[in-house]
Chain A
């Protein structure tokens, strides 16, 4: 169990009670492979018996659709956009992440407040202002930051994914370049700079994402394992003398019997 810690002012009406879940953030600029890695981590965690909730920007019940519609029109002002995202975040924090953490889930979040802060600051928001709005955020158990070596590499990945450049992800609203490519590279460079600035401030665990997916995934798994192992190990200290280690936490990691696997295969 762990006490909830907020970056700033706590959410009103929230009981400050210890929670047993883990909040793990996957951060990084556009095209760095965050969603791929979240999916891989989820499968891996579930297969070892952890209940997982994954969430990400604009996935709130309250504001997700509104933001998507507003982005379509390209008439979204900067302040409006930043506050819309903050609304989306707060809704997911209160209605998805907090309940899951209380229930002992591993919460994997694709981006957290850091992306929102970086985007806002690059768009001229007062860095103090945007940070205090996100003071309501819970301090995560780990911030795994996927970092690429160059923004040109990101552009290649975005194109490789087949979806092409997005208006907002290319920072087209900022007028940084003559076309989507130039703008994307210039915009992502500025974002990278903001992320680097935040790295020490918030204690990012930096992971070199320019390597093959397999290697990045392995490093992510090691980092996550460290976070989720912490608690059972300390709780089990007294028992270790009398019992073999594999029997310490049977409820957390159930051993999969052959019959179970067979059933799974059938139902799949």
Chain B
């Protein structure tokens, strides 16, 4: 995985609460066996009109939103299904970070695994960002992962929480599976001591 450090990107607003992963990407796009092509299905219900043409009113389709890499979204973003296809589709579309007052647990974990930053900010910062974008659709924010800060257009820096380990992995391009594989000795001793017996090969 490519290390992530600091990046600046244009922000686009989707100020809707409880955006579930069925909205991010509907089930009909989940019949794939790889990760490619998922961006096509991103927000498909909102992005396209019933006749299949782009919906000009949807935030991501406005010309000013072209090239946006930061999505500012409502509370509880990514609730519902555990599908990692949701962060795959968002990243495939070009997003590098999602800013929200809070994320659903599984989505947050999935996003971190693939280097799509879930940035949790307080309500005030969320609303400030929304007004910035409303005033100037070219609004750009800077996200500094090492410092765990979002830098707003006015220059105000806001800290965001992120799991230390995930941050370390993202900054250094380390993958978590590699780390787990190094725990083999501990896993073996755990297995030897576990009282639970089960064998799925009946």
A is bound by B: no
What residues make up the interface of A, taking CB atoms closer than 8 Å to B? Answer: none
